[in-house]
Amino acid sequence: MIMTVVPATLNDTKDKLVLIDQTLLPNEEKFLELDQVEDIWEAIKKLRVRGAPAIGIAAAFGLYVCSLKSKATTVVDFRKEFEEIRDYLATSRPTAVNLFWALDRMTKRFEKEANKSVEEIKRALLDESEKILAEDQAMGKAIGEHGLSLLKPGMGLLTHCNAGGIATSGYGTALAPMYLGEQKGYKFKVYADETRPLLQGSRLTAYELNKAGIDVTVICDDMASLVMKEGKIDAVLVGCDRVAANGDTANKIGTSGVAILAREYDIPMYVLGPTSTIDLETPTGEEIEIELRDEDEIGNGFGRRTAPEDVKAYNPAFDVTDAKYITAIITEKGVVKPPYMENIRKLFE
């Protein structure tokens, strides 16, 4: 394991969700212990836990610990409470498919055990949530190995937002090849986009790469074109929050601009993420719902006003990169190249 901090897990007694509050990084490492559904919803909504895989893990553990508190004595009553908790958590973030994937997986496990007692179902929910965490850790390493196969020692790599250990459960997705490369002496030079408006690149990616001893340089988002033109970037690696059936990919706002620049400078653009992030029910990026966040994150995001009080702000959290700009999609099952509509489906055969 690369990162010593797992962003979402259970406490020792397995009755509370434990999160590292990522809104406070890199200045403070504060852990939250939560078992109230409103607090868990708030933690997901306010990005105390963030990154598509980590959101899914937090949702699964959150659904379990909140269901654990139920006093229901019949499966019928317990199912009603379980579904209410699940449906409420599902409203926290609309774009990251892992949230819904994890909640759906927990629901399927409930139904599989529905002929058992309430206590037995609770134990099954614990087992399923722990499996989601363990599987994500294995996925991260596999994604990293497939990604590393496309890279060479000494490369300059650009990444946007944070798709590392604190966005998942260990290796991360986009950062996984960097960690594995560091172990093998590849000596990558990583450039981390600052990633406005919440600075996940400078606050989180730079934090964890620097902590791991990887050569990392923070740049403002609008510097990406220059460092590409200067020949400092050999490949772009980003994570993903949802991949449509045709390969269109939703990721943190600004990713599509990076992809367009990479095409202009003939730099490969790699999207890395688990197959759970691929949504075959969404035909293209046009159907992906883009979360709009509070205007204040732009105009008052750093504790002081950076725009006039009466000026409007537009704050989409994600954008969609058209599949034509993506060189390859890298999953735990392997590297997928165009045509995506055909080759993505092969992952699920």
Full 3-state SS string of the chain: CCCCCCCEEECCCCCCEEEECCCCCCCCCCEEEECCHHHHHHHHHCCCCCCHHHHHHHHHHHHHHHHHCCCCCCHHHHHHHHHHHHHHHCCCCCCCHHHHHHHHHHHHHHHHCCCCCHHHHHHHHHHHHHHHHHHHHHHHHHHHHHHHCCCCCCCEEEECCCCCHHHCCCCCCCCHHHHHHHHCCCCCEEEEECCCCCCHHHHHHHHHHHHCCCEEEEECHHHHHHHHHCCCCCEEEECCCEEECCCCEEEECCHHHHHHHHHHCCCCEEEECCHHHEECCCCCHHHCCCCECCCHHHHCCCCCCCCCCCCCCCCECEEEECHHHCCEEEECCEEECCCHHHHHHHCCC
Question: Tell me, what's the pLDDT at 2?
Answer: 54
| Span 154-180, average pLDDT | 93
| Span 243-247, average pLDDT | 98
- Express each pLDDT in 97-149 by its tens digit: 889 999 999 999 999 999 999 999 999 999 999 999 999 889 999 999 999 99
Is 115 exposed, middle or buried, given 0-12, 13-18 or 19+ CB atoms closer than 10 A? Answer: exposed
Question: Tell me, what's the pLDDT at 210?
Answer: 94
Is residue 8 over pLDDT 70? yes
Q: pLDDT tier at 253 (50, 70, 90 boundaries)? A: very high
Angle, in degrees to the nearest 10, between helices 118-148 and 52-68? 170
- Express each pLDDT in 40-79 by its tens digit: 999 999 999 988 889 999 999 999 999 999 999 999 999 9
The single residue listed with the structure tokens 């499996």 is 131
- Express each pLDDT in 287-342 by its tens digit: 999 999 999 899 887 678 889 989 999 999 999 999 999 999 999 999 999 999 99
241 is catalytic: yes
CA distances from 83 to 24, 87, 151, 254, 331 (A): 32, 6, 45, 35, 31
- Express each pLDDT in 24-37 by its tens digit: 999 999 999 999 99
Question: Tell me, what's the pLDDT at 167?
Answer: 85
Q: pLDDT tier at 3 (50, 70, 90 boundaries)? A: low
Q: Please, are residues 173 and 143 in contact by the beta-carbon 8 Å criterion? A: yes
The single residue listed with the structure tokens 């629901």 is 107
Is residue 174 over pLDDT 70? yes
β-bridge partners, 279: 244
Tell me the residue type at 178.
M
Tell me the residue type at 158.
L
Question: Tell me, what's the pLDDT at 261?
Answer: 98
Percent of the chain exceeding pLDDT 90 equals 87
Query: Vertex 113, ends 108 and 115: CA angle to 5°?
Result: 130
| Span 258-264, average pLDDT | 98
Is residue 266 over pLDDT 50? yes
The single residue listed with the structure tokens 């996984």 is 176
Tell me the residue type at 132.
I
Question: Tell me, what's the pLDDT at 171?
Answer: 87
Euclidean distance between CA atoms 30 and 280, whole angstroms: 37
Tell me the residue type at 345.
R
Is residue 230 over pLDDT 60? yes
Range from 13-27, 100-114, 165-179 carrying the lowest mean pLDDT: 165-179
Average pLDDT, the chain: 95
Closest by CA to 275, choosing from 115, 114, 135, is: 135
| pTM metric for this prediction | 0.84
Q: Which of 241, 248, 310, 322 is catalytic?
A: 241
Written as six digits, the tokens of 186 are 């590849």
The single residue listed with the structure tokens 């990616």 is 205
| Span 237-260, average pLDDT | 97
Question: Tell me, what's the pLDDT at 1?
Answer: 46
Q: pLDDT tier at 169 (50, 70, 90 boundaries)? A: confident
Closest by CA to 279, choosing from 245, 246, 255, 313, is: 245
